[in-house]
Amino acid sequence: MTKTALITGSTSGIGFGIAESFAQKGYQIMLHGLEANGKEIAQKLAQRFNIKTHFSNHNLTNAEDIDRLIELTVNTFGRIDVLINNAGIQHVSPIDEFPNATYEKIIAINMNAVFYASKAAWKHMKNNKFGRIINISSVHGIRASEFKSAYVTAKHGVIGLTKVLALEGAPFNITCNAICPGYVKTPLVDNQIKDQAKSHHLSETEVIEKIMLKKQAVKDFIPIQKIGEMALLLAADDAQTITGTNFTLDGGWSAQ
């Protein structure tokens, strides 16, 4: 039986890299994201790996749209085996200048959507006695940095939710784990480099050297493929005892 994976925010960055890893292993994939060329991205992936894909641009700020995304996945592929809650946004600003609406949007997309999507997928996974939920948190789910109040709050919240879902899912062979990457070079980070440069009054090269990679012992961005490989390991049939934990891929950042 061909397994189905829904990866939120998979028409860009880390999500797309995870989609490539799952496509290589023959999964059917629901690609998702707000990128205007999402349909084309999904079609190209299908052709490259000879798999079935579909695309959705449901907005994760809305719980009903998230329900529709899960239903579309099940109606298209007949099942949902793996849910990768990956979509996320960032905003960098001192707290006294942090816009309330931006704080709420980050909490909605980076944290609340993980709850709504997992809740909507739950009944299908429970019926199938199989489910793998993988949340892309961040090293900011276990460590803080200044000027990232909303992001750090949301990513810590995701780690808490991951533990609860692991406990509730255990009787049904549903596992839930989080992956906590350090810096990965994606559009989200490119935007942050610009924002950080403004907040810290530094050039973009100085931001990369002095701020971003400063906390990582390994002075390299984390390769996207490594996150895909970790997700595949967590999604495996025989990974049912790996649950309720977080896996850091952070170049040694959290070792300090």
User: What whole-number distance in Å separates Cα of residue 105 and Cα of residue 126?
Assistant: 30
* CA separation, residue 33 to residues 87, 138, 167 (Å): 8, 19, 29
| CB of 70 vs ligand NAD, minimal distance in Å | 13
- Which run of H or of E encompasses 133? strand 131-136
From the list 87, 120, 125, 234, which residue makes contact with ligand NAD (rule: CB under 6 A)? 87
Q: Which is nearer to ligand NAD, 6 or 87 (CB)?
A: 87
From the list 186, 196, 243, 246, which residue makes contact with ligand NAD (rule: CB under 6 A)? 186
Q: Under the criterion CB under 6 A, does residue 86 sit at the interface with ligand NAD?
A: yes
Instruction: List residues bridging with 248 in a β-sheet.
Output: 180
Any idea which residue has 């709050």 for tokens?
153
| CB of 163 vs ligand NAD, minimal distance in Å | 18
Q: Could you say which residues in the range 196-255 bind ligand NAD, by CB under 6 A?
A: none
Instruction: List residues bridging with 247 in a β-sheet.
Output: 179
User: What whole-number distance in Å separates Cα of residue 225 and Cα of residue 39?
Assistant: 22
Q: Which is nearer to ligand NAD, 5 or 109 (CB)?
A: 109
Q: Is 151 a catalytic residue?
A: yes
| CB of 132 vs ligand NAD, minimal distance in Å | 17
Q: Under the criterion CB under 6 A, does residue 169 sit at the interface with ligand NAD?
A: no
| CB of 12 vs ligand NAD, minimal distance in Å | 4
Task: Enumerate the H helices of 50-186 as residue ranges.
Answer: 63-77, 100-107, 113-128, 149-169
DSSP 3-state of 31: strand
Q: Could you say which residues in the range 9-38 bind ligand NAD, by CB under 6 A?
A: 9, 11-15, 33-35
Q: Which of these, 183, 179, 180, 181, lies nearest to 193 by C-alpha position?
A: 183
Q: Which is nearer to ligand NAD, 46 or 130 (CB)?
A: 46
Name the token pair of 148: 């990232």
Q: Which is nearer to ligand NAD, 66 or 80 (CB)?
A: 66
Q: Which of these, 101, 252, 245, 70, lies nearest to 166 by C-alpha position?
A: 245
| Residues tagged active-site | 151
Q: Which residues make up the interface to ligand NAD (CB under 6 A)? A: 9, 11-15, 33-35, 59-61, 86-89, 109-110, 136, 138, 181, 183-184, 186-189
